[in-house]
């Protein structure tokens, strides 16, 4: 497997191994199972797994499942599937919820040391007491409860004696700290809710800030890599490691999260798009989820290369989606068979071609990869071309078909437009053309030149197919005063009925093709039937993107 170019995290790891601070490393990918993974998670997955891989270490998949209200086994399963599909194998598979007893004991230890207390303030009161960046916080009137009283109350919280929100356990640190995270953060709250893993065993749940460092330490994680929003929490992370007397001392390192143009990434927003019906599920091909990208036709190779190439930095930038598209084109260029498909069909009758005759033409499967061999395509008197490839009154420099003009049909002959047939409303419904038998592809004909080459399919044997064309789901990046829902692109999906070559009758879900002049397409696994394949546009052929 290829590896990350040099990045600052890699340098830290390298140094820790060279200086003997660690003799091996352990990283982890710690998703909360409250949604499907997205391309931002892929950045973290690639970073953690490839770092460990490069230095002979290990990577755990750990579900950070400390909030029963939002988590679900559906998400656990999809996350496992997506990590595997991306090409990674975890060493340990862990659930934070398996450590609840251990975490409880460490919280008791804090109480015993006078470093945690049960608070009766409401959530709102706690927020008010916390103060601001410029004003110190105020101590809770419950802050100086005795150790014995705190031990008793905490036990009773666990035993279910109190309702949700009635009490919390807080770390006793410093209400005047310039770092608000250190102003007595809440470490346990009451939630009478059924947990996907522990059922009804617990009615108190640890907060992320407390749970996460303990989870890392319990797994002997050496480098705990997270996104930049957690930088201000690092002192708190270290405080818990120290005062909970964890033997293992993981190091938290932050990097800038991935943002993409025309994309919303947070699970909360993606969930909203799913639940409010803007898309057809988490795996809708317009979604930036791993399952959406898979269904769209992105390959794990392309996603991994993208994640490596964007690099890892201490700042959060926004990456052009065109870069992701660039890498899928690069990956599919040599792999995807070429074929022809007509998305908006226009019938063409070749009047001088013998009626009833069919000839089979030879075409390369992939001119950039000759090993893929040849395919056969039929040609006859009736074909379909693309509606866009004909104009009755063309502008200058239009090299496709118009009355009196001659073009090349890919892999076949030159044809010339002789007559335009219209319906009663004046719409063009058919063209009458003639062909020149001397111009057959592959015969080396040089008698005259034409400027346009069109794709086509033979009409009597063509197979019906559905084409789904996509535009970005989100029109613009969120502007001040608008919600992302107001920026959902109403034209993000276009469904069209067209035709494909008859040699495509056996296509399978997730097979990828390059349709000549259109782009790369993936066979949709959800909507494809034995009667009709559905093709998702992965990416068009042209790009303005330069690496």
Query: Is 455 a binder of ligand ATP (CB under 6 A)?
Result: no
The residue of the chain with the least Cβ separation from ligand ATP equals 40
Query: Is 32 a binder of ligand ATP (CB under 6 A)?
Result: yes
**Of the two residues 32 and 478, which places its CB atom closer to Mg ion in the complex?**
32
Between CA 20 and CA 23 the distance in angstroms is 6
Half-sphere CA count of 205, side-chain side, radius 13 A: 25
What is the per-residue DSSP string for 385-429?
EEGGGB-SSPPTT--SB-TT-EEEETTS-EEEEEEEEE-TTS-EE
| Minimum gap (Å) between residue 224 Cβ and ligand ATP | 9
Query: Is 234 a binder of ligand ATP (CB under 6 A)?
Result: no
Strands (E), 3-92: 26-29, 58-63
Measured between alpha carbons, how far apart are the two ends of the chain, in Å? 21
**Of the two residues 310 and 475, which places its CB atom closer to ligand ATP in the complex?**
310
Q: Which stretch binds ligand ATP (CB under 6 A): 24-32, 301-309, 330-338, 385-393?
A: 24-32
* Distance from chain centroid for Cα 436: 49
Between CA 111 and CA 16 the distance in angstroms is 34
Q: Given the structure tokens 């069209």, which residue do they identify?
A: 496
| Minimum gap (Å) between residue 99 Cβ and ligand ATP | 17
Between CA 214 and CA 94 the distance in angstroms is 13
**Of the two residues 266 and 460, which places its CB atom closer to Mg ion in the complex?**
266
| Residue 267 annotated to the active site | yes
**Of the two residues 226 and 346, which places its CB atom closer to ligand ATP in the complex?**
226
What's the full length of the chain, in residues?
Answer: 547
| Residue 501 annotated to the active site | no
Count of other CB atoms within 10 angstroms of residue 111:
23
Footprint (CB under 6 A) of ligand ATP, residues 42-71: 43-44, 64
| Residue 257 annotated to the active site | yes
Answer yes or no: is 257 a known binding residue.
Answer: yes
522, two tokens: 């993936």
**Of the two residues 267 and 326, which places its CB atom closer to Mg ion in the complex?**
267
Tell me which of ligand ATP, Mg ion, none is bound by residue 31, counting a contact when its beta carbon lies within the kind-specific cut-off of 5 to 8 angstroms: ligand ATP
Measure Cα distances from 159 to 208, 211, 399, 441 in Å: 21, 20, 80, 82
Measure Cα distances from 459 to 173, 350, 463, 504 in Å: 77, 11, 9, 14
Answer yes or no: is 124 a known binding residue.
Answer: no
Answer yes or no: is 77 a known binding residue.
Answer: no
Tell me which of Mg ion, ligand ATP, none is bound by residue 185, counting a contact when its beta carbon lies within the kind-specific cut-off of 5 to 8 angstroms: none
Contact pick of 40, 68, 288, 378 for ligand ATP (by CB under 6 A): 40
The residues, ordered by sequence, that sit 6+ positions from 184 with a Cβ below 8 Å of its Cβ are 119, 137, 140, 143, 170, 171, 172, 173, 174, 175
Tell me which of Mg ion, ligand ATP, none is bound by residue 408, counting a contact when its beta carbon lies within the kind-specific cut-off of 5 to 8 angstroms: none
Measure Cα distances from 470 to 292, 417, 491, 496 in Å: 12, 32, 8, 11
Catalytic residue among 145, 267, 294, 329: 267
Query: Is 226 a binder of ligand ATP (CB under 6 A)?
Result: yes
Cα dihedral 366/367/371/376 (nearest 10): 60
Query: Is 257 a binder of ligand ATP (CB under 6 A)?
Result: yes
Query: Is 267 a binder of ligand ATP (CB under 6 A)?
Result: yes
Query: Is 227 a binder of ligand ATP (CB under 6 A)?
Result: yes
- Which residues would be at the binding site for ligand ATP (CB under 6 A)? 30-32, 40-41, 43-44, 64, 226-227, 257-258, 265-267
Query: Which residues contribute to the annotated binding site for ATP?
Result: 32-34, 38-44, 227, 257-258, 265-267
| Enzyme catalytic residues | 32, 257, 267
Cite the annotated binding site by residue number.
Answer: 32-34, 38-44, 64, 208, 227, 257-258, 265-267
Annotated binding site for L-glutamine: 64, 208
């Amino acid at each position: 497997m290829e590896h990350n170019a040099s990045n600052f995290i890699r340098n830290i790891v390298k140094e820790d191994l060279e200086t003997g601070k660690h003799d091996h490393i352990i990283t982890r990918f710690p998703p909360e199972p409250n949604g499907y993974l997205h391309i931002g998670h892929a950045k973290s997955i690639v970073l953690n797994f490839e770092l460990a891989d490069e230095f002979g270490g290990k990577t755990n998949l750990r579900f950070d499942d400390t909030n029963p209200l939002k988590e679900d086994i559906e998400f656990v399963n999809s996350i496992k599937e997506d990590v595997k599909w991306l090409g990674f194998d975890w060493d340990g598979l862990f659930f934070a919820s398996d450590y609840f007893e251990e975490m409880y004991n460490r919280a008791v230890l804090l109480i015993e040391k006078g470093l945690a207390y049960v608070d009766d303030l409401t959530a709102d009161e706690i927020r008010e007491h916390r103060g601001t960046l410029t004003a110190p916080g105020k101590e809770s009137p419950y802050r100086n409860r005795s150790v014995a009283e705190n031990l008793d109350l905490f036990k009773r919280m666990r035993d279910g004696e109190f309702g949700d929100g009635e009490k919390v356990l807080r770390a006793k640190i410093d209400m005047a700290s310039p770092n608000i995270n250190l102003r007595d953060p809440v470490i346990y709250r009451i939630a009478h809710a059924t947990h996907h893993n522990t059922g009804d065993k617990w009615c108190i749940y640890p907060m992320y800030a407390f749970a996460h460092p303990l989870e890392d330490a319990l797994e002997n994680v050496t480098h705990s890599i997270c996104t930049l929003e957690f930088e201000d929490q690092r002192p708190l992370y270290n405080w818990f490691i120290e005062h909970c007397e964890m033997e293992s001392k993981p190091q938290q390192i932050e990097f800038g999260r991935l943002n993409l143009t025309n994309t919303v990434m947070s699970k909360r927003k993606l969930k909203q798009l799913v639940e409010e019906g803007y898309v057809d599920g988490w795996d809708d091909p317009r979604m930036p989820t791993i399952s959406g990208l898979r269904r769209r036709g992105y390959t794990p190779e392309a996603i991994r290369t993208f994640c490596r190439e964007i690099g890892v930095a201490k700042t959060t930038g926004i990456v052009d989606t065109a870069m992701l598209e660039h890498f899928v084109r690069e990956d599919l260029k040599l792999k995807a068979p070429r074929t022809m498909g007509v998305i908006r069909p226009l019938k063409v009758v070749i009047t001088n071609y013998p009626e009833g005759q069919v000839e089979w033409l030879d075409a390369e499967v992939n001119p950039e990869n000759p090993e893929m061999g040849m395919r056969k395509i039929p040609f006859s008197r009736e074909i379909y071309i693309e509606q866009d490839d004909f104009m009755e009154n063309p502008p200058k420099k239009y090299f496709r078909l118009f009355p009196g003009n001659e073009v090349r049909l890919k892999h076949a002959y030159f044809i010339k437009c002789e007559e335009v047939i219209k319906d009663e409303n004046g719409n063009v419904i058919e063209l009458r053309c003639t062909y020149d038998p001397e111009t057959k592809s592959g015969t080396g004909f040089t008698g005259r030149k034409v400027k346009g080459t069109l794709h086509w399919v033979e009409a009597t044997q063509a197979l019906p197919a559905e084409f789904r064309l996509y535009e970005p789901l989100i029109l613009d990046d969120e502007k001040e005063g608008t919600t992302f829902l107001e920026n959902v692109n109403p034209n993000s999906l276009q469904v069209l009925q067209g035709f494909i070559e008859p040699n495509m009758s056996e296509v399978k879900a997730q097979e990828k093709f390059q349709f000549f002049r259109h782009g790369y397409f993936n066979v949709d696994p959800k909507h494809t039937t034995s009667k009709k394949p559905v093709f998702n546009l992965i990416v068009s052929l042209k790009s303005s993107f330069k690496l």
